[in-house]
Amino acid sequence: MEYQVDYELEELVPIVAKLAEKYTGIDSSSITYEKANQLMEAVIYCIHENDMDMIQDEDLSNLEDKTETNNVDEADLKRSAYKANREIRQLERSNAEEAYKTGKNLVKQKVKRALELYHELLPEFDSYGNYYLDQTIKKGMPEFFKWYDVDFEPQNTLLTLDYPVLRELCNLEGIDRIYEYLRCIQLEQRFLGKMKREFVIQCLVKYNSSYKNMVDNLCPAVLMALEERKMQGIVTGQVLTSYETYYEGDEEMIRYLMPAVKEIIIRNSQFVVKGDIS
Amino acid sequence: MDKNWMELLRQKNQIQIIKQTNEYSEKYGLTLTEQDAKVLVTERKGSLQTQKRVEFGQGVLPKLIYAFCDSAYITQENYVDMLTQLQELFYLFKNEMMDEITDDELICFMKEQFETICYGDLEYLGGTCLDIFAQAIRAGYRDYRDSEGEGAYHTLDEVPRWDYELYQEALRDLF
């Protein structure tokens, strides 16, 4: 996908030219189309980062309040806010080079924040034996931080992120995507970590006996088991711990897990209806 | 994104820059007229498009002129034609060598082979010397870096250039 910015090509080209000179040093006076495109995308990515930063948190929360459903990705919210602010910013925007420099610094700061997040996550991290989660976090992430190129290719995510998170991230690239991905993993770890490890494993085995090699998210398996328990509790009148208590007060986690929970509830209700008919 | 933006990267004052090289090349009896410079700029644009490359700054042509203008194989008559072909070869082999080689290294290599192996034959330069060199670079050959391209070809050359024994024998036969 390609980000868009409100600058004319004539304003961006001199920045690309400077970047190209920096890229080749004094060694080369020409580059391939492919490389030139890559550098243009790098410039656009940084400017876009600057544009996104101009959207205040306050605006975001206002938008969130107005949103009818909770099932809206944060990225979608940001995009909406971005579009809404476009016209205003066209009137009072900085020049392209300034926007690029500021954006690049923001990218660097985000890399730093992502690294901090990763270090925070790592000590308690548990893949529960799932190969893809384990590989992505323990092997993929260090490689990302090692090779990520802020100067010449910040738009490259580098990793395939094989373990899927519950939030749609395909509209993000580079560090934006990695940062959001790590935040999702952090939320998942927080959710799963509130339960006994044995219980989580038991849920996963029940969901898929070869869960260690499954390319699915782990949370729905646990949520399904919890939902099942909840239903049994209602039917038999037994007092069971409601799974809501696991993320009580954690708004961010609720927002993250809610789409999966809703899906499970819908699936279960269909099952009940079918059962009644038969 | 539209490829046209790459047009904007290209320098506008190329003709002037090319004409400035006359100050140096005229001592070797080589000069370029305004018309010649226009031809070279047009050819350059075509070569860059063919090779899917974009050039910025002063470009490589002035460097090629400064490197080759002292050659005995270039005359005023073939000057423009030679430069056109040299820049074509340059962009082609920049790609063939996957940008592993710097401008200066490639020019140094081209000039050396042009003078000592090809004796001014650009077809041999492109079809044999540069081709072999590009294959070696793609295969990981990097020894040329220490000498910046100088003397790199003799280790890769497949043709025996000078047989001392044969020379002595021919000499003995003569006298």
pLDDT digits over A156-179, tens only? 999 999 999 999 999 999 999 999
Confidence label for B58 from pLDDT (cuts 50, 70 and 90):
confident
b/e A165-178 (16+ beta carbons within 10 angstroms → b): bbbebeebbbbbbb
The larger pLDDT score, comparing residue B2 to residue A196, is at A196
Q: Is B1 on the interface with A (CB under 8 A)?
A: yes
Q: What is the average per-residue pLDDT within A214-219?
A: 94
Task: Note whether B53 contacts A29, CB cutoff 8 Å.
Answer: no
Tokens of B60: 């490589």
For residue A278, is pLDDT > 50? no
Instruction: Please state the pTM of the whole predicted model.
Output: 0.78
pLDDT value of position A62: 52
Tokens of B86: 């040299």
Confidence label for A77 from pLDDT (cuts 50, 70 and 90):
low
Task: Note whether B8 contacts A13, CB cutoff 8 Å.
Answer: yes
Q: Is B107 on the interface with A (CB under 8 A)?
A: no
Alpha carbon distance A20, A151 (integer Å): 11
pLDDT digits (tens, 9 = 90+) for A88-134: 555 556 788 999 999 999 999 999 999 999 999 999 999 999 999 99
Task: Note whether A32 contacts B95, CB cutoff 8 Å.
Answer: yes
pLDDT value of position A54: 72
Whether residue A189 contacts residue A126, with contact meaning beta carbons closer than 8 Å, is answered with: yes
Helix (H, G, I), strand (E, B) or coil at A144: helix
Distance from CA of B4 to the nearest CA of A (A): 10
Mutate one of B4, B9, B44, B100 to test the A interface: name it (highest A CB count within 10 A): B9
Confidence label for A58 from pLDDT (cuts 50, 70 and 90):
very low
| Nearest CB partner across the interface for A29, out of B3, B4, B57 | B57
The least confident of A237-246, B40-49, B51-60, B106-115 is A237-246
Residues of chain A found within 8 Å of residue B94, distances taken between Cβ atoms: 28, 30
Q: What is the average per-residue pLDDT within B150-171?
A: 75
Percentage of residues in chain A having pLDDT higher than 70:
76
pLDDT value of position A154: 97
Q: What is the average per-residue pLDDT within A221-234?
A: 78
| Nearest CB partner across the interface for B52, out of A10, A27, A33 | A33
pLDDT digits (tens, 9 = 90+) for A137-162: 999 999 999 999 999 999 999 999 99
Residues of chain B found within 8 Å of residue A28, distances taken between Cβ atoms: 94, 99, 102-103
For residue A243, is pLDDT > 90? no
Alpha carbon distance A176, A109 (integer Å): 11
Whether residue B16 contacts residue B62, with contact meaning beta carbons closer than 8 Å, is answered with: no
> How many other β-carbons are positioned within 10 Å of the β-carbon of residue A18?
15
Residues of chain B found within 8 Å of residue A10, distances taken between Cβ atoms: 8
Distance from CA of A13 to the nearest CA of B (A): 6
Helix axes of B131-138 and B79-96: crossing angle, nearest 10 degrees: 20
List all residues 6 or more positions away from A198 whose beta carbon is below 8 Å from its beta carbon.
none
For residue B13, is pLDDT > 90? no
Task: Note whether B8 contacts A28, CB cutoff 8 Å.
Answer: no
pLDDT digits (tens, 9 = 90+) for B19-37: 999 999 999 999 999 999 9
Confidence label for B56 from pLDDT (cuts 50, 70 and 90):
confident
Mutate one of B54, B64, B90, B96 to test the A interface: name it (highest A CB count within 10 A): B54
Task: Note whether B1 contacts A2, CB cutoff 8 Å.
Answer: yes
pLDDT digits (tens, 9 = 90+) for B61-81: 999 999 999 999 999 999 999
pLDDT value of position A275: 47
In terms of CA atoms, which chain B residue is nearest residue A16? B9
Distance from CA of A144 to the nearest CA of B (A): 24
In chain B, which residue ranges form alpha helices assigned H by DSSP? 5-9, 14-20, 22-25, 34-50, 61-68, 79-96, 103-116, 122-124, 131-138, 164-174
pLDDT digits (tens, 9 = 90+) for A5-22: 778 888 888 899 899 989
Percentage of residues in chain B having pLDDT higher than 70:
91
Computed on alpha carbons and rounded to an integer, the radius of gyration of chain A in Å comes to 23
pLDDT value of position B160: 66
Q: Is B38 on the interface with A (CB under 8 A)?
A: no
Confidence label for A268 from pLDDT (cuts 50, 70 and 90):
confident
Residues of chain B found within 8 Å of residue A37, distances taken between Cβ atoms: 1
